[in-house]
Every structure is written in C-alpha cells, then in structure tokens.
Chains A and B, each alone.
Chain A
C-alpha cells in the first residue's frame, strides 16, 4: 500500500524536474559541511514551531527532545543517502503521521521554506558559488518531492480513512467534491 502510493505520487512529477542523481551527489558531497549546521538547524526549526501559537499546540510540553531527534534522524539520513524506495516511502509515511498529529500542509510548507532559506544562506556564505548553487538546487528539488509525498499522502490517506470509517470510496468522494466545486465555481463567477 505504502509502496504503491509512493510510486503513484512520484509518477505525478515530471522526470525532468524530479530530484535526481546529481542532486543526491551534491548533498552527499557536502555532507560534512551540511551536518555541521545540524544543531543550529534543529534548534531554529523548533524555535519557530514553539514560538507560533498554532504550531505550538501540536506539541505536548515534554516532547521537544523527541521531536528534535526525529528531525536530526531525518537530516542525517537525508545527507547520507541513498534516495531509494525506502527513503521515499518513509516520507509518504510522514503524511500519515501528520494526520494523526494535526500537522497540516500549510505548516509543512512554511517550515520547508524556512529550511530552504536557512540552508541557502549558509551554503552561499561558506561554499564556492557553483557548489552552493548545486546544493540549493538539490534542496529545492528535495523539498518539492518530499512536500508532494507528504501532502498527497496526507490527502489520500484521509480519503482512505473516510472510506474505511464511512464507506465512501475514493471515486465517490471525488464525485461529491466535484459536484460541490462546480457549484462553488458557478457562484464565484
């Protein structure tokens, strides 16, 4: 199920823009520099989440350490490669976890933006510009794929859960949604 869903989502993204071997090589080539940013990245990431009222509500008071470890594990694994089926399926699973934790896609997109800016600033400061641009491009491509997997798995797992709970199959849900969207568009025009 997870493998099938992951493959299906990846197939929606044109090959030509998908995270590729050059992107993977750029990250792995600068692994040690990028890992040196880990502490600052993890702290900054959760400082923002804990400082904002809406995202702070996601967490219990005593779980920051555990959440930081999750991000560290992801960061280290990402910089080590390989970007194989197992890695992408793991990102798909995150979408499922996010439903359970009430982490919505707006929160994820916002934090990806921060992460890209953080890494972009540091690599531009410390790496030769040609190498920095390769890393920035890799992070952008990675963000696009991971965001696609998380957000799509979020939606499709939500649909699956509704089907299991209420007997509304995916095609029927799309049908119900489509009918209402037609009406909303007609009113908006």
Chain B
C-alpha cells in the first residue's frame, strides 16, 4: 500500500469509528493538504492554519514548560478542532461536534496521529 493509500485509510477509519468527527485533515508541516474530506475550498485554508496552530502550540508548550506538545484544541460554540503534531513532517486535525463524545474523539485522533507520524517518517 502506498503512503497516500495508508493515509487515506487512517482518515476513513477515523470517520467510521467516531461519528462525532465531521472532518479530518492530514497536512504537511508546510501547510499543504495531504489527505482530507474537507471541501476543496475550505481544505486549502484548514491545512495551512492547522499547521500554523500546531507550530504555535509547540512554542506555547515549550515556553510554558508543558513538555512535549500533544494536542492543540480550539473550541467554538458550534464545534471544536483538535490538532495533533504528526512528528516533524505533518499535522492531523479533526473537527468534531461540541456536544459529542470528546473522550473518544481524542483517543482515536491521538492514535491516528501516531500512525500518521509513522507513515510520514517511512
């Protein structure tokens, strides 16, 4: 299976396993979309700002002595975005319902981020 197919599989499984997730973005460290189900016009910006959020989260974590960064969360009235560093090369971002099962979303998304890291490092 190619890298692209593996990433697509992670993305599909996340959507199937966690109904509260309404969008998945796997982006490069430079903010380019790699695999996503966000509409194309939204995906360009979401990829870039997800990479930006992970970079900023990384700096906040370092400056505030939080240890290795794991997750950045942006919560709005209608939903939330969880952004995970996928190693040094990528980012995984998921959009979820604000009233959903946040525990399950975080558990599945953080595991998926580890898989994305592994694939991008291959």
Contacts and interface: CB of A to CB of B under 8 A. Distances in A.
Contact of B31 (A163, A165, A167, A175): A175
Interface string B27-38: 001111000000
Interface string A163-183: 101111101100110010000
Q: Is the interface of B mostly helix, strand, loop or mixed?
A: helix
B45 A179 contact: yes
Nearest to A167: B55
Q: Is the interface of A mostly helix, strand, loop or mixed?
A: helix
B48 A175 contact: yes
A168 B55 contact: yes
B56 A166 contact: yes
A172 B29 contact: yes
Interface in B41-74: 44-45, 48-49, 51-52, 54-59
Interface residues of A, number: 11
A169 B55 contact: yes
A169 B30 contact: yes
Contacts of A171: 29-31
Contacts of A166: 52, 55-56, 59
B44 to A, nearest CB: 6
A165 B60 CA distance: 9
A167 B57 contact: yes
User: Residue among A163, A167, A169, A179 with the most chain B CB within 10 A?
Assistant: A167
B44 A172 contact: no
B84 to A, nearest CB: 14
A107 B76 CA distance: 43
16 contacts: A167-B54, A167-B55, A167-B56, A167-B58, A167-B59, A169-B29, A169-B30, A171-B29, A171-B31, A172-B30, A172-B31, A172-B55, A175-B30, A176-B49, A179-B44, A179-B48
CB-CB nearest 3 A-B residue pairs? A167-B55, A171-B30, A175-B31
Given A166-B55, A168-B56, A175-B48, 20 more contacts: A163-B55, A166-B52, A166-B59, A167-B55, A167-B56, A167-B59, A168-B52, A171-B29, A171-B31, A172-B29, A172-B48, A172-B51, A175-B30, A175-B31, A175-B32, A176-B31, A176-B48, A176-B52, A179-B44, A179-B48
Interface of B: 29-32, 44-45, 48-49, 51-52, 54-59
